[in-house]
């Protein structure tokens, strides 16, 4: 039986300029009705700042594929 390595994402903090890797459980993805309301967020492990960054289609695909929890901010009606 093969073990699967946990998915990690590289991220950076605009406040302290720290660069680090985060597990999928440390990230949140919000998908809005437009690209302006679609973003991912996390708490910087180095300085504790709340970080929010825009997420384009490719980022959304990578994060959802990697198991990041997702919140849909719009209905599909």
CB-CB contact of 37 with 76 (8 Å)? no
Q: Is the pLDDT of residue 1 over 80?
A: no
Per residue in 7-64, pLDDT (tens digit) is: 899 999 999 999 999 999 999 999 998 888 999 999 999 999 999 999 999 999 999 9
Angstrom distances, CA of residue 52 to CA of 3, 44, 76: 32, 10, 24
pTM value > 0.75: yes
CB-CB contact of 27 with 9 (8 Å)? yes
Q: Is the pLDDT of residue 5 over 80?
A: no
pLDDT at 35: 84
pLDDT at 77: 54
């Amino acid at each position: 039986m093969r073990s699967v390595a946990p998915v990690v994402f590289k991220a950076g903090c605009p406040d302290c300029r720290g660069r680090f890797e985060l597990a999928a459980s440390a990230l949140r993805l919000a998908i809005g009705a437009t690209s302006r309301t679609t973003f991912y967020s996390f708490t910087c492990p180095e300085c504790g700042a709340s970080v929010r960054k825009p997420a384009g289609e490719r980022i959304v695909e990578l994060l959802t594929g990697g198991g990041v929890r997702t919140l849909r901010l719009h209905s599909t009606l």
